[in-house]
Each structure stands twice: as structure tokens, then as C-alpha cells.
Amino acid sequence: MRKTVIIGTAGHIDHGKSALVRALTGTDPDRLKEEKERGITIELGFAHLVLPSGTLAGIVDVPGHERFVRTMVAGAAGIDIVLLVVAADEGVMPQTREHLDICRLLSVRHGIVVLTKCDKAAADWMELQEEEIRGLVKGTFLESAPIARVSSVTGEGLPALVAAVDRLAAGIPGKDASRLFRLPVDRSFTMKGFGTVVTGTLIGGTVAVGEEVAIHPGGSIAKVRGLQVHGGPVERSSAGTRTAVNLQGVEKEAVPRGAVLCSPGAFTPAKSAEVFFEYLPLVPKPLRHRGQVSFHAGTTSCVGRILLYGESAIPPGGSGYGRVLLSEEMILSGGDRFILRGFSPLANFGYTIGGGTVLHPKPPPRKGAGKTVPDALPRLRSADPSERVLAAAEDAGAAGSTPMEVAVAAGLGREQARDLLKRLAAEGIVTEASMSGKLWHRSAVSGASAACGQAVARLHDRDPERAGFPKEEIAALFPVPPDPALLSLALDGNRSISREGELHFLPARKPKAVELTSPLAIKISEIVRAAGAAAKSRGELLEAVQGICKDPRAMDKMVDGLARAGEVVRVKELLFHGEALQRIRERLVEYLSTRGEITVADFKELCGLSRKYIIPLLEHFDGQKVTLRVGDKRVLRKGK
């Protein structure tokens, strides 16, 4: 497959960026009537160039006017090589400086300084301009970059510039196609006979004709009708490529610039993100806690407010951690770069005040947020993928996370994240619950296990005559109800807690066995047996035994004894006779063995019971590993 790179122009207005692209490629990047009339670039322009080595370069031409820096940032997202354009007859100007800082903050690593309009300047004047440029780029990624003197009018220096770009492109690794598919949209239009077409730089993964993609914001699903790369149709496009996507079944208004195409179910829009950022030295005043900014990421932007962690203010030239509260939902991933802009221009510069890296695209609530830097954030900034995966899993706490959520937070592909999680699971550091697909760090399981021990002890204190307690009663004593899968892991992991059937207890606190041949035991058993599939609730049973027992605690104790003996089975708040429940189970297994799956409505018809019984019974059989819930249906577990 042919190697591809993305080249972006940068520089002040009227310094010859579009003319340079036109001279290099033969394509005029200014396509709008207004651009041609005014002689300035307003929208992003695109062209492509086949380099001497065969590498295919997509070129993004950005506007230079300060009013269109938002558009410039959208175009700079995803570029591999920047051509910093400086006109020989004018030299370094405000947007030259601002665009250079934007490229640096977006982590562009490679570039060439292009001194244009050399046909309009004398040699000694160009020497002075190059000296000023060297001062500008000192300490940046362009410090050792070549300065190419060119004229888009005469063609002077263009072959040498192309050769320099080709040499630079040879050392640039390709984008990671294993990461999750994502394409920030920078242009959307309707093409007669095709419908909606969007373009953008594919920053992760691959996309193929016939696949479905999610469109955010909104989350609607569209099918890829066709793909083009540099004007030619392709069946598949990979990361690092400028791609045009023909979408089926969606209007262009639903996919404006700033929208994101991504893998369905992979990304969740969020209105906050935790970040590490740099604050530019030339800003005249510190960035205060809760300071308002304009937040730019990918091809979109919105107003944000910065909550600083561990600091009340960040001085000019400083850096720090914080949380950005966004006015609009965005699709972000760990490792994404962003730009911060202010609302008033800086002297001889522009509006850009800083930028940085997204560390957590959907952060959890933080207790005491702002006082300290959360432990996870420096680890999520690590260059080691395994450290980022571990930090994301641990930071989820008792809420847990899915492998996909870990992959997005760590900025990795699905398979790489899954492999690292398998390694952590083999080491006992994380545990994944098959019933929910979520995983927890061992610290979360350990904390929940300790809480379970305390909860069971409190239940024994409250009802010392009861033999044990179901999960529901234990969960009710947690400050926040735990995830059912975490509760199961926690109970199984606490060696001080024993279990008989559905009841959990501390062995030292278990009361003596009850007499199952007593009149009360016999009466309860008869009532529950007679009820059959129409099980009794605790309240109904208490009312039914009023003639021989008026003490609810005595009845509960007897029910516990019958439950341990298998005579009575608790299903949520219902009491089934063991034989009746077994018959229901046998009918369900027989149905699933022949039909393959069952819905709630099907099960209701099968049993002839109301929803009061149906949902608890289905959840009971899920918990007993008889059935597995898949969406809104149940299937038979293997081996049943």
C-alpha cells in the first residue's frame, strides 16, 4: 500500500500559501467565489502531490487571517509536516508566530520554513529575513529545519522544496491503523447523483465501503456508500489519509464541520475532559481557576471553563493539570491535542493562549477536586501504553469500565487495549465480569469486599435470628448501590463471608438451626407449595400464617431455615416452593433448547404468569447461570 502523509500550510495572511500549493500541485485550493474576489483564503483548501519517492502527500491549505484561526486549527489537526510560509518582502508577522505556536501545541514534529515571494526581494534582505526566522523558531521543532527560498511566480526553488519534503516524509512513520476509527469532518457538501459527502483526515483506524459509521453529535448511524482518496475511488481508507466519505441515508446538515465519524459504540460524547496544558509565555496575565477559554480540538470548538487542579492560577509560561467544562458535547480520546484561545487579542500575536493533551475524555467525579492533582492523570500522560491502561482501569473505581472505555481513555486500539487487559487479568490486577462485560481494578474489588463484610455484620446486628441475607439487602447498605457484577465479585472475594443458596452470612454469627418439623414450618411449606408458580411475597405469607405466628422475625427465621433446606427458594421478594421453581426451570430449558432464545413476552406466555413474577424469575435464572441475557432476549448458557 502506498505511503501517505499530510502536509499543512501555516503563516500570515497574503504570504503566498495558496499560491505555493497551486505552484506545487496545479490545483487551486481557493474554491470559493469570495476567496477569488478578495484574494484571501477563508475556508480550508485541499490538493495532493505525488512525491518523487512515490509517497502520496495530501495538502491542507489554511487561512492566514486572524479571523479564521479557528478554521486554521481545524486544518492543522492531523498534519505530519508543516510548511511555515513567510513572505520574503514582509518577514515574520503576527499570524506567523501564532500559527507556529499552534503547530507546536498540536504536537506537529516535522516541518520546513518556506520563504516565498523571493522574486520580490533582494538577496541581502532575504538574509535578514532568514536571521529573524531563525530567532523565531529557536527552541521549537523547526529549530533545525531547512529554509527553502521559492517563488511561486517564477518556479524558483520549487524542485528543491519538493525534494526536501520527500526526504522529510521518508522518516515519518505511518499513522496507527489499529486505533479506533475516527474522522473529524472539515467539509460537508452534497454531490449530485451521490448525496452527502464529507471530507477529513482519518486520524485513527480504517473505514471501508459498506460499513456503518456513527455520526456525532447525535449518534445517528449511516452507511458508507463510497470512499475517495485524492480524487480516486477506493474500497478502504486507513489512518493518516485525507478521505472523502459518501454517506447514505443522511443529509449534509446532519454532518457539518466539527462532526465526527467513528466506530458505532466506541466513543461517547462528553461535556468535560481532564487535561494537561501549557500556558504561553506572552500572555499578559495568569490563567485563573474557572477561567473562561475557547477550546479547539479536531475540527470543532466551543466555549470552556478551566478548573485547575492543585493551583489557584497558572502563570504565563507555566503548565498544569485541570478539567475543562465544555459548553457543547465533544468526541475526544486520550492523547488528543487541543488549543486554548482567549477572547481578546494579544499584542502583536493573536488570540491563542495555550494548548495541551486530553488525558481523560470522560472523567469520573472527583472528591475535593481542585485541591490536588488526581493520581491517575500523570499516569494517563505516560508514554507507556500499559501504564495508561492500568491507570484508566484503576481510575474507574467502583463504577468499573468496559474494555472499550479503557481503550478510549488510554488512546489505544481495541485489540491492543484488550491484550494489555488480558495480561493484567492474568496477574490478578483486574477482573472482568462475564455477566456484564465490565472490569474492575483489584483495589475496587477489595474495597467493595470490605464494605460487604461490614454490611453483613450490620445485618446480623439488626436481625440476629436470621440465618443469612440475600444480595439485595447487602447492596442496600452501600452509600451508592454497587454494580451487581461488582457485588458478586466482592462477596466471592471476601473469605469471611459464607454462602448457602442465596443467603450470605458470617459463620460466627449464624444462629442455631430451626426446627423444620414445627407447626409453623409445616404451615409455611404448605402455603408456598400450594401457591405453585404464583409465589407468595413476604407480606402475603405473613398474613397467611397470622393464626399461628404474629411475629415477623420468627417467620423470617423459619423461612431462612426452609430456604437452607431447599424447601423454599427466594427469588427477589418472592417465595417459591423448590419443586415449583424446578418445573419452571425445566420448561424454560426445554423451550430454549428448541427455540434458541426467549423474550420477556415469550416467557410470560410460557408460564402464564404476570410481569410481577416474570422479571424476577428471569433475573434469578440469569444469576443461577441457566440463562444469559443478550440485549432484550435470553439464551441458554453453554452446558445447560
What element of type H or E holds 536? strand 536-537
**Residue 237 corresponds to which amino acid?**
S
Q: How confident is the model over 391-437, as pLDDT tens digits?
A: 999 999 999 999 999 999 999 999 999 999 999 999 999 998 876 78
How far, in Å, are 72, 187, 197, 207, 319 from residue 253 at the CA level? Answer: 22, 11, 11, 22, 38
State the Cα–Cα distance between residues 53 and 171, nearest whole angstrom. 12
d(CA 390, CA 406): 9
Q: Return d(Cα 498, Cα 501) in angstroms, integer.
A: 10
Distances (CA, A) of 542 to 109, 403, 527, 531, 550: 75, 47, 11, 14, 8
Where residue 258 falls (left for φ over 0; alpha for ψ -120 to 50; beta otherwise) is left
Q: What are residue 293's DSSP bridge partners?
A: 304
Q: How far apart are alpha carbons 99 and 350 in whole angstroms?
A: 9
**Residue 204, SS3 per DSSP:** strand
Write down the residue that cell numbers 438451626 correspond to: 513
Q: 3-state class of 187 per DSSP? A: strand
What's the number of CA atoms in the CB half-sphere (13 Å) around residue 199? 19
Distance CA 84, CA 10 (A): 5
**Phi, psi (5° rounding) for residue 345?**
-70, 150
SS3 content of the chain, % helix, strand, coil (to 5): 35, 30, 35
**CA 42, CA 300: separation in Å to the nearest integer?**
16
Which H/E stretch holds residue 302? strand 300-308
Instruction: Please report, as a single letter, which amino acid is at residue 461.
Output: D
* Residue 166 C-alpha from the chain's centroid: 35
pLDDT at 638: 76
Q: What is the pLDDT of residue 237?
A: 92
Q: Which residue has the cell 488549543?
A: 339
Q: What is the pLDDT of residue 514?
A: 61
C-alpha to C-alpha distance for 311 and 218, rounded to whole angstroms: 36
Per residue in 545-583, pLDDT tens?
A: 888 888 888 888 888 888 877 788 888 889 998 888 999
Q: Look at residue 167 in the predicted model and tell me its pLDDT.
A: 94
> What is the sign, positive or negative, of the torsion defined by CA atoms of 40, 46, 47, 51?
positive
Beta strands in 69-219 (DSSP E): 81-87, 110-116, 147-149, 182-184, 187-191, 195-201, 206-208, 212-216
| Other Cβ atoms within 10 Å of 632 Cβ, number | 8
Contact in structure between 392 and 409 (CB atoms under 8 Å)? yes
Rg of the chain (C-alpha set)? 32
**Residue carrying the nine cell digits 478578495:** 38
pLDDT at residue number 344? 83
Between CA 48 and CA 7 the distance in angstroms is 9
Sign of CA dihedral 194, 195, 200, 204: negative
Instruction: Write the pLDDT tens digit of every residue in 235-245.
Output: 999 888 888 89
Closest CA to 216 of 177, 179, 247, 185: 185
Spans in the chain with pLDDT lower than 70: 1, 28-45, 62-77, 368-369, 435, 512-514, 639-640
pLDDT recorded at residue 379: 97
CA distances from 459 to 206, 381, 477, 563 (A): 54, 44, 9, 18
Calculate the CA 542 to chain-centre distance. Answer: 51
Distance of CA 403 to the CA centre of its chain: 11
Task: Say if CB 113 and CB 133 are below 8 A apart.
Answer: yes
